[in-house]
Chains A and B, each alone.
Chain A
């Protein structure tokens, strides 16, 4: 493949440290733990969207071969952390996470109503098909547009004055009406599901003495440990969560979902290790989704292209029993310099399961709308969309009135535009065709807030000179272990091959879950300080052995040895230092967290995407033919894995723009796209070469490693760039995703 600069300079990127075990199948995923005595649980799910269970007919299922137990709300052992169900039973009030096998009520279609435990998965599945449930059906509301009148300020927001989801106005709320050039439009994002290739799965082992071990697919072993300990009223240390390998998650593994609790209930009840793997169709109603969201945007500018007003309103779908809030309208307050900005956010509860965070939550949704609207206004102004954005460049955070910790978005725009050859874009749509296809260019900006959580790491030097670094962080795909190894190798001056990074186990030092693009900023910093601390201890020991290494001198580490200076050729190996001091190992454990800088600077990752599409003029098929993506996320730790993060984000954005759509038949309140034949995600043939560039300048204010988050910013804005390119190609503005041929025909 062609070498690109600067995203793939002949740098010394590490290849994935776990690449070999993953591609050879040696890595063990949650469903693959061969625990002795394992039995299998399969969920039976509701086929109505609202009502209650009248009766079960379990006769056939109970006598099916291999069945060990059938668990329903009628016979489930109470989960000790939950209050006893009310008598007579009452529907859970809003604000209650769904409790599985707890009461007779149906809150959404696809809700677990019974669980078969059997000796093999096939037998459990067969028995599950024999369970008969009679329901008392009630009218359900799942149709977003038909119920939009019920959208309201979330209860969470009503209760909290300081909630970031409060209505927001800066400047004059009526400014839009006075702007010279105005556009106003509504944008719709349908429900989209994470659908990682690895379905959610768990092996739950309930041992004597009430000890619980789960091998579970999730994005945070520590929070899973805490939540399970709470639900089952166990001391935290009696619960271990083991999740070293995750086959993609995109946000679906942030929470502990009902199926996880169900598997633990089964293990506790049948006193055997239980495996539960969600079927693909169950993935649509079990682990959240990107909520159906309708947004209205009003934009106004002067004839010179100066933004004068933005009004951004968003309504997102949630369940009847729980609120899920997203940053949908919030980026709009920050991204451009505009004196008059108003945002409003509402929720619409429906008879569906609760949505959750999905890559770029809120921001990917909001930026689709805002960046489409910016393109619409640029066209109304007959101004180049990039020039329009530069004209409204925010030199400081207009929402918080703070300086940016660092912002190189201008450099991103310039580099991206140059690599993409944006100057060839034609202002008028339908101006370019190639081989009978309409060609269009589109671009969009991207931003994502900086998140850093307190994190701990431990670094241990062993007698053989190898180092193990540990933290209870996760790798849902970005290559966490690789990046952390890179940080440790850099600090310790060691060959990465002699470093082993351990993650994904709740017994390791505290770390946040993998979400909000916070892993490198948080855990990366902890690894950095832990390794610095280990280096300090090592130098101190070396100093006791040789004057050259004494404190205050210029001792350095290189190739697993301590040297007196950069020029010094006579080193002392780490192993020899331990040996001299009769030490088997040397350990350093540190915590790293934010400080006062959080109040002094506004911290964001920034980026932009440039997209070329080709649209068939007769069939309306859209193909993305070129993408250039450019990000400013501070220092890049490991180019190779960073680059695949960016590529993955763009692929996700293309899916969001062109195909992903969980469609429900509202007569049943049930999804009709419940497999991969119905729920389309991009395949290889849909994805062109994606060029990735980074500014790669450390942000010195955010943390000791100068790195900000990359995972989410990679997808935020992509859908807008695609939609804008489609407009440029065809003159058709598609405001409801996905952009499928039927919408262009």
Chain B
């Protein structure tokens, strides 16, 4: 690990000023991802700005939104009454992530900004465009069992890694905004525009500008509290990243689906919102046949490598399973 300087701001203003003054600095929250990245030499900031003393832990309800501070712990969010009552899909997704110990340290902001789990990214001896732009993508033509099957249609991907977060899959299915503080004040970004699908600059995972700090997320109230399911398919029962994950949320009435949300994890450079499916589901009575039809619809645009072709079937199947559970049909 490269020696670094450690700073501890008390206010958001102080934090963003420090970041502006130290271009090579990184914020550290729970450290569950950043410390690993530093230990393996993937990132070597000369300055760490410890944001744990900023007042960003609060979870509250304002108007029609649940606002969750960037430093709220994954475990606290998952069991907070406001979240379990109003955003149960989010709670479900959080509990599917990592382990109890890690969720006790991991923050919402850090979860949004966690790096991919591509194993080539983690090994500095191997080429990787995300870690070292221009060096090549080892996963392309390598062991790409966990890699993406959906891409930005307008470019040849320079990185085929997937975003690893479970929480972000649920947030993608819901209507979420990210609240950001920067040297020039506060701004918000819709969640769907927060992460990058494009890998033109593979080293960048999000549209956060250098030195900007996430201060909160805000999740809109919705009518999905009854019919939702977060399904995570993984290599073991717990403590593994998703091979494929599905966040499914339905608003149902009179035996019909009135509103549907489907987001996928483990399939693209960012959580994948399944817009077409949502339209196809609307106004229809739930059935396995319908779910199968819509699930397979978008799979036509999927592209697999040598080791991840299974993901095409698996994603469709997982979607059927998640929608069935959400709809309450067996």
Contacts and interface: CB of A to CB of B under 8 A. Distances in A.
Interface of A: 47, 65, 122, 125-126, 129, 281, 436, 616, 618-621, 623, 658-659, 663, 665, 667-668, 670, 672-675, 677-678, 680, 682-686, 740-743, 745
Contact of A665 (B122, B143, B237): B143
Contacts of A667: 138, 141-142
Interface stretch (B77-85, B195-203, B239-247): B239-247
A126 B38 CA distance: 11
B233 A741 contact: yes
B237 A668 contact: no
A53 to B, nearest CB: 15
A148 to B, nearest CB: 20
A678 to B, nearest CB: 5
Given A618-B317, A683-B238, 11 more contacts: A47-B125, A618-B321, A658-B235, A659-B236, A667-B138, A668-B125, A670-B125, A686-B236, A686-B238, A741-B233, A745-B317
A677 B102 CA distance: 13
Given A436-B330, A672-B123, A680 B240 contact: yes
B320 interface: yes
A673 B235 CA distance: 13
Nearest to A64: B3
A654 to B, nearest CB: 10
A129 B120 contact: no
Contacts of A620: 233, 314
A745 B309 CA distance: 10
Contact of B318 (A618, A683, A685): A618
Nearest to B309: A742
B207 interface: no
16 contacts: A281-B123, A619-B233, A619-B318, A659-B235, A663-B143, A665-B120, A670-B126, A673-B119, A674-B119, A678-B119, A680-B236, A684-B238, A742-B145, A742-B311, A745-B310, A745-B317
A126 B1 contact: yes
A672 B237 contact: no
Given A126-B2, A663-B143, A741-B243, A682 B236 contact: yes
Nearest to A623: B237
A349 B244 CA distance: 37
Contacts of A436: 330
A17 B195 CA distance: 54
Nearest to B237: A685
B41 A129 contact: yes
The 4 A-B residue pairs with the shortest CB-CB distance, nearest first, are A685-B237, A742-B310, A685-B238, A618-B317
Contacts of A674: 119, 123
Contacts of A122: 1
A683 B237 CA distance: 8
B125 to A, nearest CB: 4
Interface string B13-43: 0000000000000000000000000000100
B142 A742 contact: no
B284 interface: no
B1 A683 contact: no
B313 interface: yes
Nearest to A128: B41
B53 interface: no
B234 interface: yes
B143 A126 contact: no
Contacts of A618: 317-318, 320-321
A200 B299 CA distance: 46
Given A663-B143, A742-B243, A680 B235 contact: yes
A658 B234 CA distance: 12
B138 A665 contact: yes
A308 B122 CA distance: 52
Contact of B314 (A623, A668, A741): A741
B117 interface: yes
Nearest to A624: B237
B235 A741 contact: yes
Interface in B230-280: 231, 233-241, 243
A394 B166 CA distance: 53
A680 B125 CA distance: 22
Task: Sort chain B's interface into a size bin.
Answer: 35 or more
Contacts of B126: 665, 668, 670
A686 B119 contact: no
B243 A677 contact: no
Contact of A670 (B123, B239, B320): B123
A675 B118 CA distance: 12
A47 B142 CA distance: 16
A558 to B, nearest CB: 49
Nearest to B117: A677
Among B1, B145, B237, which residue has the most Cβ atoms of chain A within 10 A? B237
Nearest to B126: A668
Nearest to B127: A668
Q: Which of A122, A678, A684 has the most CB of B within 10 A?
A: A678
Contacts of A678: 119
Contacts of B125: 47, 668, 670
Contact of B119 (A47, A129, A672): A672
Of A436, A618, A675, which is in contact with the most chain B CB atoms at under 10 Å from its CB? Answer: A618
Nearest to A674: B123
Nearest to A654: B236
Contacts of B41: 129
A680 B146 CA distance: 14
Contacts of A621: 233-234
A706 B244 CA distance: 52
Nearest to B316: A618
Tell me which of B120, B233, B236, B241 has the highest count of chain A C-beta atoms within 10 A of its own C-beta: B236
A126 B237 contact: no
A658 B310 contact: no
Contacts of A619: 231, 233, 314, 317-318, 321
Contacts of A741: 233, 235, 243, 310, 314
A393 B240 CA distance: 42
Nearest to A663: B143
Contacts of B236: 658-659, 680, 682-683, 685-686
A677 B236 CA distance: 11
Nearest to B244: A619
A32 B41 CA distance: 26
A84 B167 CA distance: 59
Contacts of B123: 281, 670, 672, 674
Contacts of A616: 321
Contacts of A47: 125
Interface in B124-151: 125-126, 138, 141-143, 145
Nearest to B320: A618
A142 to B, nearest CB: 13
Nearest to B124: A129
Most B CB within 10 A of own CB, among A616, A665, A677, A745: A745
Interface string B299-330: 00000000000110110011011000000001
A667 B1 CA distance: 28
Contact of B237 (A673, A686, A740): A686
A726 to B, nearest CB: 15
Contacts of A684: 238
B296 to A, nearest CB: 13
B143 A672 contact: yes
A122 B41 CA distance: 12
Contacts of A663: 143
A670 B126 CA distance: 9
A667 B142 CA distance: 8
A145 to B, nearest CB: 14
B239 to A, nearest CB: 5
Contacts of A129: 2, 41
B271 to A, nearest CB: 19
A122 B235 CA distance: 33
* Residue of B120, B143, B234 with most partner-chain A CB within 10 A: B143
| Residue from A65, A665, A675 having most chain B Cβ neighbours under 10 A | A665
B136 to A, nearest CB: 11
A741 B146 CA distance: 12
